[in-house]
Amino acid sequence: MDYPFVLARATWLLFRMHLGTIFGSRRTLAGIALAAIPPLLAFLAARLTPDQVTGRSILLELGLMLMLGFIVPMLAVSLGVGVVADEAESRTITYPFTRPIPRAALFLGRWLASLVCMLVLIAISATAMAYFASTRDGAPTEESANQLIVAALVGTTIYSLGAAVIGVISKRGLVIALGYAFAIEILLANLPGSSQRMTVQYYLRSVFLEGEQGTFGPADVIRPEDLTDSASALIRMGVIGVILLLLGMRLVTRRQFVLSS
């Protein structure tokens, strides 16, 4: 039997098994709480801020600093890092390997199930945030709302893949992944110069802020003219995503999982 067919079949099986359990997990419940924050703040901002604050500025500032800068990496890392690490921690990692299925299917199937959950939460959150911002005078354009949703979904995919790979490599995957997302990324993404191009945030900002004018972020350090075009950003993120996916599948295939007593 051809390997791609066996891999696809095993991936589908593990995808369905994991999807049935992930929506009721504690991490998912925490993810729901996180995803509720942006639309809640957009709702409050649309009703409580001074009249000179427009719906467009609410969407841009909350979308840039809260949704893309915090909610997306936090939710994606929190759910993504446990794709394989949770199986190892619960001492059930060897169970799937007792059957004649490709090891890579464990990573691929469980990550896809987690990704579906994350994308649903982020899509609802970003859409609701854009809706509440649009209820304010000076509403954002539909294009801006769509760009935010696309950037958030792409960011969720990349951050979750990176976290899943780190979870395979290290038992302290959550700490390492959060350290990268909220220390290294924040530092490099807000430094002037080419160092910004080394971060996921740079490309998410490029997608979200395309066509916008002005300055954004803390101390107005983010300028759309310093970013790349959205097409190039999406291509770069796609390449990174494929590399991370293949790396994760390869690591699970070759690693020997030793259960500690």
The pLDDT score that the predictor gives to residue 219 is 47
Length of the chain, in residues = 261
- 70 contacts 94 by C-beta, under 8 angstroms: no
Residue type, 151: A
The pLDDT score that the predictor gives to residue 261 is 46
Residue 90 burial (10 A CB sphere; 0-12, 13-18, 19+) = exposed
Strand (E) or helix (H) holding 118: helix 104-134
* Tens-binned pLDDT, residue by residue, of the chain (261 aa): 587 888 888 889 889 888 888 877 888 899 999 999 999 999 999 999 888 889 999 999 999 999 999 999 999 999 999 887 666 555 555 555 556 678 888 889 999 999 999 999 999 999 999 999 999 888 888 999 999 999 999 999 999 999 999 988 888 888 999 999 999 998 888 887 788 889 999 999 999 988 776 666 654 567 777 788 999 999 999 999 999 999 999 998 887 655 454
C-alpha distances in Å from residue 41, one per residue of 29, 48, 124, 132, 230: 19, 10, 14, 9, 27
The pLDDT score that the predictor gives to residue 1 is 54
- 131 contacts 148 by C-beta, under 8 angstroms: no
User: CB under 8 Å to 141, separation ≥6 — which residues?
Assistant: 56
- Domain spans of the chain, in order of start: 3-254
The pLDDT score that the predictor gives to residue 13 is 87
The pLDDT score that the predictor gives to residue 39 is 97
Smallest CA-to-CA distance from 108 within 259, 235, 2, 253 is with 253
